[in-house]
Amino acid sequence: MYTLIDQITKVVSEGFAQCGYEADVKISLSNRPDLCEYQCNGAMAIAKAYHKAPFIIADEVVAKISENPVFEEIVSVKPGFINIKVSKQALADQVTAMKEDEKFGYRNSEDAKTVIVDYGGANAAKPLHVGHLRSAVIGESIKRIQKYAGNKVIGDVHLGDWGLQMGLIIEELRDRKPELVYFDESYQGEYPSEAPFTISELEEIYPVASKKSKEDAAFMERAHQATLKLQSGDKACRAIWNHIMDVSKKDLKRNYDNLNVSFELWKGESDAQPYIDTMVEDMIEKGIAHESEGAVVVDIAEESDNKEYPPCLVRKSDGAALYATSDLATLVEREKDYNPDRYIYTADKRQELHFIQVFRTARKANIVNSDAELKFLGFGTMNGKDGHPFKTRDGGVMRLQVLIEDIRKAVYDRIVENRSMSEDEAQETARIVGLAALKYGDLSNQASKDYIFDLDAFSSFEGNTGPYILYTVVRIKSILNRYLEESDAAKIEDLKINAVDNASMKALELSLIKYADVIQSAYKEYAPHKICQYIYEVSNAFNGFYHSTKILAETDPEKKKSYIALITLTRDILLASLDLLGIECPERM
């Protein structure tokens, strides 16, 4: 199906052509909704080329096409705007067609692509903290939007599981439990299958070891050695590493599940290791990489640069691999396994330089297909109300688990205050609504900017918040349930939406028909916040309609059915949009 904008664009384009003008006609939503619904500024854009006043061109075009039934009114306005109101019939046809379409008229114009989304950013043996929230939430939404557009999408958590942190943990473990067989050099047998620590011990070990390494040079040296041993395949180190991975993956999965974020792949930096040596040697051989100050680097300067970029380090002077090496080798692995058309990395925007280096090196060394897209989606910091990075009250790093629990609690209190429901249902509802508050609060801001996390504002049931959107959906559900209880209720799927009969109904429909365009621009621009804006607008339009129109009490049965059909479509569009944001909706709240 075509969107209404497509239809209008076609008609107006033909109008320009019939009048002898060559113009790239763009129809946009009116920014003067008091005057019209859509506008076309094409006449102004081409006026110069044809040496005519823009309003004369607009007049001519309007005269040619004004009889088309899609318009209720089309007028030319000085200095050269073309203002358009759509006809009731066109609108009714459009919303009815949307109701019958699985994706409400949305079609991605591109061919299906294979897309890898690298998000999450978790590290083994370290608990998720608030810094991990944005990558998970934004990445999950980006992934869902990519999928919805018809792409084959693979999300990879890409664990940090191979760095110095592992050596630190191993050495700290040695200091704590030297009696473990892993530290007995003469031990020849099989290592135990049971991990010598629990997740909470593991999470306690890392920060201690990290602190110690900064104060104790000898300890740091041992940690470096242990890291190197692990990376060169030492059995004991490898055995401990396996335990660390098992224990922390299990815990991370649980935490991501709590966020309703899931990954197709649980790969990590370690998986890229087998590709590193060949890759680096190959780059040296081709003359792309060269030795500099003992390290191996790739120059990434390009002709068009107007600033200097530091070279990309791919091998340290001691022979070890680095962050960039690992990401490059991961590209090698992904090319081999999936040959993707597009890579999307969701990470803190402070890593932008790193990704520029990696992307340029990957292109220069032909690691990726020349037509593969490499996209870095950098996001800003989540700040507290003071405008500084979010911390706990005593200034520490806040665990994600704690943050989720805080917001869940805030929502829970409000729910039990207002509704009577069973304890189980209240708990479950609070979980869903709390997550919605958290995710919507994050996603409603442009990803690239820093934003301020305000628990009270985000968990409020009023204003532009997740709970408000959910409330609107729940309200629609409630009305539809009542309708279904009525003896003469007709099947909702079969209902048609009639021509509008009041202003708020029209406003609601005009919001609904934007769906396809909104989703398309959210897809093209990697911009979940546009979906947030949209569902807020739809929710407001619905509440306006609800307030001014009796739905269940409507006495004209045809009108009533039409209203029911309309709010069904509204509900479905809201739910579909929420799903693209990774937000669930409860039955009641």
Partner RNA sequence: GCGCAUGUAGCUUAAUGGAUAGAGCGUUUGCCUCCGGAGCGAAAAAUACGAGUUCGAUUCUCGUCAUGCGCACCA
Of the candidate spans 12-20, 27-35, 101-109, 175-183, the one that interacts with RNA by CB under 7 A turns out to be: 27-35
Closer residue to RNA (CB): 16 or 180: 16
Closer residue to RNA (CB): 6 or 191: 6
Calpha distance 206→306 (Å, rounded): 42
30: contact with RNA by CB under 7 A: yes
479: contact with RNA by CB under 7 A: yes
Burial class (CB in 10 A: 0-12, 13-18, 19+), 37: buried
228: contact with RNA by CB under 7 A: no
Q: In this structure, what token pair is assigned to residue 409?
A: 């609690």
At position 298, the amino acid (one-letter code) is: V
Q: How many residues in the shown chain lie near RNA by CB under 7 A?
A: 96
- Stretch 527-556: interaction string toward RNA, x if CB under 7 A: x-xx--x--x---x--xx-xx-xxxxx---
45: contact with RNA by CB under 7 A: yes
Burial class (CB in 10 A: 0-12, 13-18, 19+), 308: exposed
24: contact with RNA by CB under 7 A: no
Strand partners, 73: 85
Closer residue to RNA (CB): 22 or 190: 22
- Stretch 424-463: interaction string toward RNA, x if CB under 7 A: --------------------xxx-xxxxx-x--x--xxxx
- Other C-beta atoms lying within 10 Å of the C-beta of residue 584: 16
Closer residue to RNA (CB): 188 or 306: 306
Of residues 107 through 136, those in contact with RNA by CB under 7 A are 123
Q: Is 51 left (phi over 0), alpha (psi -120 to 50) or beta?
A: left
Of the candidate spans 14-22, 28-36, 179-187, 486-494, the one that interacts with RNA by CB under 7 A turns out to be: 28-36
Closer residue to RNA (CB): 101 or 277: 277
397: contact with RNA by CB under 7 A: no
Q: In this structure, what token pair is assigned to residue 238?
A: 């490898």
219: contact with RNA by CB under 7 A: no
As measured in angstroms, the least distance from the Cβ of 389 to RNA is 7
Calpha distance 389→364 (Å, rounded): 37
Instruction: Pick the closest to residue 106 from 97, 115, 119 (CA basis).
Output: 97
478: contact with RNA by CB under 7 A: yes
Which DSSP string do the residues of 255-281 spell out, in sequence order? Answer: HHHHTT---SB--BGGGGHHHHHHHHH
Closer residue to RNA (CB): 196 or 256: 256
Of residues 142 through 171, those in contact with RNA by CB under 7 A are 160, 162-164
178: contact with RNA by CB under 7 A: no
Calpha distance 289→252 (Å, rounded): 37
Q: Which of 178, 192, 310, 557 binds RNA (CB under 7 A)?
A: 310
559: contact with RNA by CB under 7 A: no
Inter-residue contact 379 to 447 (CB < 8 Å): yes
58: contact with RNA by CB under 7 A: no
Q: Which of 2, 6, 17, 26 binds RNA (CB under 7 A)?
A: 26
Of the candidate spans 135-143, 184-192, 312-320, 362-370, the one that interacts with RNA by CB under 7 A turns out to be: 312-320
Calpha distance 238→226 (Å, rounded): 10
Calpha distance 179→154 (Å, rounded): 43
As measured in angstroms, the least distance from the Cβ of 18 to RNA is 22
Calpha distance 232→245 (Å, rounded): 17
Instruction: Pick the closest to residue 419 from 589, 202, 278 (CA basis).
Output: 589
As measured in angstroms, the least distance from the Cβ of 451 to RNA is 4
The helices-and-strands tally (H runs, E runs) of the chain is 20, 13
Q: Which residues contact 585 (CB under 8 A, 6 or more apart)?
A: 432, 436, 470, 473, 474, 574, 575, 578
Closer residue to RNA (CB): 89 or 481: 481
Of the candidate spans 106-114, 256-264, 368-376, 414-422, the one that interacts with RNA by CB under 7 A turns out to be: 414-422
Closer residue to RNA (CB): 193 or 214: 214
392: contact with RNA by CB under 7 A: no
Inter-residue contact 558 to 498 (CB < 8 Å): yes
Q: Which of 95, 297, 358, 569 binds RNA (CB under 7 A)?
A: 297
Q: In this structure, what token pair is assigned to residue 512?
A: 């609904």
- Other C-beta atoms lying within 10 Å of the C-beta of residue 247: 21
87: contact with RNA by CB under 7 A: no
Of the candidate spans 10-18, 40-48, 63-71, 148-156, the one that interacts with RNA by CB under 7 A turns out to be: 40-48
Calpha distance 105→102 (Å, rounded): 8
Q: Is 463 left (phi over 0), alpha (psi -120 to 50) or beta?
A: left
Of residues 316 through 375, those in contact with RNA by CB under 7 A are 316-318, 320-323, 326, 349-354
Closer residue to RNA (CB): 181 or 333: 333
As measured in angstroms, the least distance from the Cβ of 282 to RNA is 19
Calpha distance 454→466 (Å, rounded): 13
Q: Which of 83, 96, 330, 511 binds RNA (CB under 7 A)?
A: 83
Note the maximum CA span of the chain.
94
Give the β-pairing of 342-348 and 114-118: parallel
475: contact with RNA by CB under 7 A: yes
As measured in angstroms, the least distance from the Cβ of 207 to RNA is 14
Q: Which of 211, 250, 286, 419 binds RNA (CB under 7 A)?
A: 419
293: contact with RNA by CB under 7 A: yes
Give the β-pairing of 342-348 and 373-379: parallel
Strand partners, 159: 268
Of the candidate spans 109-117, 137-145, 170-178, 472-480, the one that interacts with RNA by CB under 7 A turns out to be: 472-480
496: contact with RNA by CB under 7 A: no
Closer residue to RNA (CB): 185 or 214: 214
